[in-house]
Amino acid sequence: MSFEFRLKRRVQFYETDAAGIVHFSTYFRYLEEAEHALWRDAGLSIAMRGSLIGWPRVSASFEYFRPLRFEDEFEAHIRIVEIAEKRIRYNCSLTRGVDRIATGTMTIVCVEKKPDQPMKAIPIPAEILSRIQVAPEGGPTS
């Protein structure tokens, strides 16, 4: 079962702004990239081809402490902190060595996607719940 994942990464030039600093919006992409790696680690995909379920983001935020710049190596540590009937909530911490760069949170909801119908929140399927769990308390992103 998976409940957390550490993704090591290097800042790419296209992720920076004119001042050479990673644009604030890019941190949300880092969070999603770590999320997708966590799902793969659990033997899952958040976007299975032909699937009738989806995972829209219903809440996301970041708090920034230090900038990242081109070529910086950093780590994104994502943890599942809540699993409810229809939603999953993550905490994420971005670090460069011992420096805390940013912390964030994101909530996703399981929805049914039927052609020509609005999305509808549904319970998370058992086959997904059998592969993920809430991370133990006390980790770096608690």
Domains of the chain: 4-129 (3.10.129.10)
Percentage of the chain exceeding pLDDT 90: 87
- pLDDT at residue 139, rounded to an integer: 59
Which residues are bridge partners to 7 per DSSP? 76
pTM over 0.85: yes
Which residues are bridge partners to 80 per DSSP? 90
Looking at the predicted structure, is the pLDDT value of residue 43 above 80? yes
- pLDDT at residue 88, rounded to an integer: 98
Q: Is 72 annotated as catalytic?
A: no
Q: How confident is the model at residue 137 (pLDDT cuts 50, 70, 90)?
A: confident
Element (H, E) at 79: strand 73-83
Q: How confident is the model at residue 142 (pLDDT cuts 50, 70, 90)?
A: low
- pLDDT at residue 138, rounded to an integer: 66
Looking at the predicted structure, is the pLDDT value of residue 141 above 60? no
3-state secondary structure of 24: coil
69, burial (CB in 10 Å: exposed 0-12, middle 13-18, buried 19+): middle
Alpha carbon 69 to its chain centroid, in Å, reads 21
Report the C-alpha gap between 33 and 90 in whole angstroms.
Answer: 13
Which residue among 17, 41, 72, 116 is the active-site one?
A: 17
**Can you tell me the mean pLDDT for 50-57?**
94
Instruction: Supply the mean pLDDT for the chain.
Output: 94
**Can you tell me the mean pLDDT for 110-139?**
92
